[in-house]
Amino acid sequence: MRSILTIILNDLKIFFSQRANLPGLLIIPVLLTLVIGWSLGQIGGGGPTRLRVDLIDLDQTSMSAKLIEDLRSANDAIVLCPLDNDAEDFCRLREEPLQLERAIERARTGRTSALIVIPAGFAAALEEFEIFSVDYYSLSDPMQPGPVLQSLNAVLQRASTASMTTGVAAALLTNLTAAFELPPLETETLDGFLGALYLRSQEMLTEQPAPVRFRVADAESASEDGSMNGFNQSAPGMGSLYVMFTVLGGMAVLLRERSQWTLQRLMALPLSRAQILGAKIGVYFSLGMIQYFIVFAVGAALGMDFGSSPAALLAVMAAFVLCITALTFALAPWIKSEGQARGLVLLLSLSLAPLGGAWWPLEIVPEFMQTLGHLSPVAWAMDGFHDLIWYNGGFIDVLPEIGVLISASVVLFAIGIRRFKYE
Amino acid sequence: MQLMVEARNLRKTYKRPDGSTIEAVKGVDLEIRQGEIFSLLGPNGAGKTTTISMISGLVEPTGGDATIGGYSITKEPMAAKRLMGFVPQEIALYPELSARQNLAFFGRMYGLGGKELSRRVDELLEFVDLSDRQNDRIDTFSGGMKRRINLAAGLLNSPPLIYMDEPTVGIDPQSRRRILDTVKLLREEQGMTVLYTTHLMEEAQELSDRVGIMDHGEIIAIGTQTELTQQVGEEDRLEFIIGAQEFEESLAEGIQQETAGVTRILYNPPEQVSDDSSESTPSRLTVFAKRGRTALPQLIQNLDAAGVEIQSVAVREPDLEAVFLALTGRALRD
Ligand SMILES: Nc1ncnc2c1ncn2[C@@H]1O[C@H](COP(=O)(O)OP(=O)(O)OP(=O)(O)O)[C@@H](O)[C@H]1O
Ligand SMILES: [Mg+2]
């Protein structure tokens, strides 16, 4: 073990003593993170395009259903959980029921943007034109209402306006029948009429363009400071891109070590082949992690979010670096020259990164490109980072992503280790 | 006498990128005794490096095995490798690190540390006379200086056995002298066993107790220098450099019959020195004769009569070059 560490430290020392390595490790990724982060912040591309909102309907009436329907159309970024959950379990419910307690916990820890509870008796209260309350739980600052609360307010306002219309109409009818001494209307007829009136006024209010339509993409409504969000995308994205550049660059270094015979000299030492290989894998894994730390440190300095689970974040980083390290060792045996290695590094990094959503979030590209994108390990890493950074997820939320990356690593290592060229 | 290295029927077949195979080493048997300097002498591509790589555990043999101090290199590689130091033909050092950093790293890999390590590194820098340049990066060193650090790196664990694969390739005569003296010193002062490979007859002749002559992946002769030269008999060797002209086998046969004492005549036509050079070696005629000096006048006469233009002639006593020539029909330097 000591020899392995000695080799790793020595190789890192060599890497850092080569001045030509520093622009690729430090300067360019940092600059790109800044530029992409600010740009994404300006156009609002740095945040989630979908908002996870838990909704518990204790009323279960046609009126509450109507409210939910309105909420959906008021802001198509809102995904109501569990109602509108998709096949990929965007709601992260993991097939467990969503009771009030769990939903409150989810909102409190920031895993959802908000929790909306429609109370029992909501419809009745509306009909009776009584005061009712819809419970709203969220981490966002009530003084600066987020997109969910704004949408909810708009929808509720419409509901109560409609309810008021019916209330006024009912009062008017009662007064009129009294004034003209007409026989009082049968309750059934009255209810039917008022019900129809409620729905009609709702419809009219809906057809009328809402005074404000909220979209998450509006930079101002996405967070307190739009530019911050940009780094939530650009730091993990550029970090992952440069992890690929740095780690895949190992293909050329392995080749050089064979041609300059330092690898052979190691083999003449009393070391097993497994120790040598383990050390070399350790070197590129360490370099990848260092690369991530550099870019994330810049993100941190600019107020990037890290979510609430540092351990999970570290695990996603490690899984991605491991996967790229494995890819490096799987490809290395086929490389014949340093020029060929450099070309392959460029080709892979520059295709896998955008495909996997390192430059812009995959959520804004067409469905089939998202599917295709998941051929790239970057997509899985970015999914994990988004889960943690945008949605405050925990370890368990990123297990699928980590699982995919580790499985790929195992397959790639199996190829790379079997084919590793010692001679 | 105890054996330090014993190789039995070592074979190595390499695959070429185009799928064809090359038998680099074809069944080598080798015994190196404790405390001796053993040279493997052979031209480029003879299989010297491949042989050394197999008996040092760098390359897995296609067949056969070797023991180092009794430990099998294939079955107990760790124990075997602890007994040996290795000086590869290439400068196997990290060019980005200083001489001292290189030595310290490889020393640490042998489990040295702290004061012990730094004392050993100081000693070796002193030994190869590069203490004053110890903190300079290897890539700023001259070829000869690199060679010396390369050698020092093989001595870190004070091994009883050291392999040196053409340690004088590509350096000036002064540095070569220094390295040859170092090799002798290692054996005399520390009793090291040395396996030395070279394609230069003079080096093998100066250093070795015993020599193995290698060609085309095989050891074609092995023994002390006296034993080897006796193989070619008491014959002297007359080397003629002749003008560029056709020289036919029948002519050689005729001259051999007409000149008393001549046993064999070899003709080496001119050859290009290297692919990208227009220079070429001169035509050479090598004549083996019982009493060379006596045969010379008649030989010159006969060659003259046959119309061969003689540019120079040299008489050589039996040596390793002669052995190689006699066994392969080619000069060692070709
Ligand atoms: N890794 C390899 N793959 C394919 N062929 C090889 C490999 N290594 C050596 N060979 C071939 O094996 C033969 C022996 O090579 P080797 O390096 O052992 O010779 P050598 O005696 O050390 O020569 P030199 O004096 O030039 O160092 C050569 O024909 C060489 O081309
Ligand atoms: Mg060689």
Among chain B residues, the shortest Cα distance to A15 is held by: B96
> A399 and A388 in contact (C-beta within 8 Å)?
no
Question: B105–A10: do the CB atoms touch at under 8 Å?
Answer: yes
Q: Which of B86, B95, B101 sits opposite A265 (nearest CB)?
A: B86
3-state secondary structure of B156: coil
Q: Of B166, B195, B230, which marks where a domain is finished?
A: B230
Closest approach of A250 to chain B, Cα-based (Å): 16
Domain limits for position B219:
3-230
How confident is the model at residue A209, as a pLDDT?
47
Cα separation, A313 vs A290, whole angstroms: 14
Q: Which of B57, B88, B105 sits opposite A261 (nearest CB)?
A: B88
How many DSSP H helices and E strands does chain B contain? 11, 14
One domain for residues B212 and B255: no
Chain A interface test: which of B73, B109, B140, B165 (most A C-beta within 10 Å): B109
pLDDT band at A175 (very low <50, low <70, confident <90, very high): confident
Cα separation, A289 vs A176, whole angstroms: 78
Phi-psi group of B234: left, alpha or beta (phi > 0 → left; psi -120 to 50 → alpha; rest → beta) = alpha
C-alpha distances out from residue B298 to A118, B246, B289, Å? 124, 22, 12
Spatial CA neighbour of B112 closest among B82, B92, B134, B90: B82
Q: Measuring from atom 28 of ligand 1, which residue has the nearest CA?
A: B45
One domain for residues B225 and B266: no
Around ligand 1, the residues with Cβ closer than 6 Å are A 423; B 14, 16, 22, 24, 42, 44-50, 89, 166, 199
Tens of pLDDT, residue by residue over A343-354, are 999 999 999 999
- Residue A303, pLDDT above cutoff 50: yes
Q: Of B180, B212, B230, which marks where a domain is finished?
A: B230
- Residue A260, pLDDT above cutoff 80: yes
3-state secondary structure of B232: coil
> A238 and A36 in contact (C-beta within 8 Å)?
yes
Question: A268–B108: do the CB atoms touch at under 8 Å?
Answer: no
How confident is the model at residue A219, as a pLDDT?
35
- Residue A43, pLDDT above cutoff 80: no
Total number of domains constituting chain B: 2
> B54 and B10 in contact (C-beta within 8 Å)?
yes
Backbone φ and ψ for B99, nearest 5 degrees, come out as -55, -45
3-state secondary structure of A60: coil
C-alpha distances out from residue A326 to A1, A256, A282, A350, A405, Å? 20, 19, 11, 18, 10
Q: Which of B60, B94, B110 sits opposite A14 (nearest CB)?
A: B94
Cα separation, A125 vs A130, whole angstroms: 5
How confident is the model at residue A142, as a pLDDT?
64
One domain for residues B247 and B150: no
Give me the mean pLDDT over the A108-127 stretch: 84
3-state secondary structure of B101: helix
ipTM of this complex > 0.90? no
- Residue A270, pLDDT above cutoff 90: yes
Question: B57–A268: do the CB atoms touch at under 8 Å?
Answer: yes
Closest approach of B88 to chain A, Cα-based (Å): 8
Strand residues in A58-99 grouped as ranges (E): 78-81
Among chain A residues, the shortest Cα distance to B153 is held by: A265
One domain for residues B63 and B138: yes
Does any domain span residue B327? no
- Residue A190, pLDDT above cutoff 90: no
Among chain A residues, the shortest Cα distance to B104 is held by: A10
Any CB–CB contact under 8 A between B135 and chain A?
no
Residues of chain B with pLDDT under 70: 1, 273-277, 333-334
Ligand in nearest proximity to the CA of B44: 1
Structure tokens at B60: 């897995």
Closest approach of B206 to chain A, Cα-based (Å): 28
Question: B109–A7: do the CB atoms touch at under 8 Å?
Answer: yes
Output the domain CATH number for residue B309: 3.30.70.260
Q: Of B214, B230, B246, which marks where a domain is finished?
A: B230
Closest approach of B50 to chain A, Cα-based (Å): 10
Chain A residues in contact with B96 by the CB 8 A cut-off are 14, 17-18
DSSP B44-59: TTSSHHHHHHHHTTSS
Question: B92–A6: do the CB atoms touch at under 8 Å?
Answer: no
Chain A residues in contact with B109 by the CB 8 A cut-off are 3, 6-7, 266, 269, 271
Chain A interface test: which of B90, B105, B150 (most A C-beta within 10 Å): B105
Spatial CA neighbour of A69 closest among A87, A58, A83: A83
One domain for residues B62 and B103: yes
Does any domain span residue B332? no
Give me the mean pLDDT over the A46-62 stretch: 84
> A83 and A271 in contact (C-beta within 8 Å)?
no
- Residue A234, pLDDT above cutoff 80: yes
> Quick one: what percent of chain A has pLDDT higher than 90?
41
Lowest-pLDDT range of A166-175, A276-285, B12-21: A166-175
Closest approach of B153 to chain A, Cα-based (Å): 9
How confident is the model at residue A200, as a pLDDT?
76
How confident is the model at residue A215, as a pLDDT?
39
Does any domain span residue B334? no
Omega within 30 of 0 (cis) for the link into B269: no
Any CB–CB contact under 8 A between B81 and chain A?
yes
Structure tokens at B235: 């014959």
Domains of chain A by residue range: 2-42+230-419, 51-218
- Residue A325, pLDDT above cutoff 90: yes
What residues does A135 pair with on adjacent strands?
A: A117
DSSP A212-275: ----TTSHHHHSSSHHHHHHHHHHHHHHHHHHHHHHHTHHHHHHHHHHTTHHHHHHHSS--HHH
One domain for residues B262 and B238: yes
Chain B residues in contact with A266 by the CB 8 A cut-off are 109
Does any domain span residue B216? yes
Q: How far is the CA of B47 from the centre of ligand 1 (A)?
A: 6
One domain for residues B29 and B162: yes
CA atoms within 13 A on the CB side of A6: 19
DSSP B197-221: EES-HHHHHHH-SEEEEEETTEEEE
- Residue A122, pLDDT above cutoff 90: no
Chain B residues in contact with A423 by the CB 8 A cut-off are 53, 58-60
Chain A interface test: which of B71, B103, B108 (most A C-beta within 10 Å): B108
Q: Which fold has domain A51-218?
A: abc type-2 transporter like fold (3.40.1710)
Total Cβ atoms within 10 A of residue A346: 12
Question: B81–A272: do the CB atoms touch at under 8 Å?
Answer: no
Chain B interface test: which of A256, A261, A264, A269 (most B C-beta within 10 Å): A269
Any CB–CB contact under 8 A between B169 and chain A?
no
β-sheet with B3-15: strand ranges across? B21-33, B3-15, B63-68, B71-72
3-state secondary structure of B196: strand
Closest atom of ligand 1 to B12 CA is: 12
How confident is the model at residue A141, as a pLDDT?
65
One domain for residues B158 and B256: no
Chain A interface with B: residues with Cβ < 8 Å: 3, 6-7, 10, 13-14, 17-18, 260-262, 264-272, 336, 422-423
How confident is the model at residue B317, as a pLDDT?
81
What residues does B210 pair with on adjacent strands?
A: B38, B224
Question: B56–A262: do the CB atoms touch at under 8 Å?
Answer: no
Among chain A residues, the shortest Cα distance to B90 is held by: A261
One domain for residues B33 and B54: yes
How confident is the model at residue A226, as a pLDDT?
40
Interface A-B, measured as beta-carbon pairs within 8 A, has a size of 68
Spatial CA neighbour of B40 closest among B21, B16, B56: B56
One domain for residues B139 and B285: no
How confident is the model at residue A210, as a pLDDT?
43
Cα separation, B254 vs B258, whole angstroms: 6
One domain for residues B159 and B305: no
Tens of pLDDT, residue by residue over A373-419, are 999 999 999 999 999 988 888 899 999 999 999 999 999 999 999 99
Task: Go through B312-324 and write b for each residue having 16 or more CB atoms within 10 A of its CB, e for each that does not.
Answer: ebeeeebbbbbbb
Does any domain span residue B111? yes
Spatial CA neighbour of A409 closest among A323, A328, A324, A348: A323
Q: What is the mean pLDDT of chain A?
A: 85
Task: Go through A374-393 and write b for each residue having 16 or more CB atoms within 10 A of its CB, e for each that does not.
Answer: bebbbbbbbbbbbbbbbbbb
C-alpha distances out from residue B114 to A5, B13, B120, B181, Å? 16, 43, 10, 31
Which of B20, B44, B50, B332 to probe ligand 1 with, by most ligand atoms within 8 A of CB?
B50
Spatial CA neighbour of B195 closest among B34, B314, B312, B76: B34
Burial class of B161 by CB neighbour count within 10 A (0 to 12, 13 to 18, 19+):
buried
- The amino acid sitting at B176 is R
Tens of pLDDT, residue by residue over B238-294, are 888 888 777 777 888 888 888 888 888 888 887 776 666 677 778 888 888 888 788
Chain B residues in contact with A269 by the CB 8 A cut-off are 81, 106, 109-110
One domain for residues B305 and B246: yes
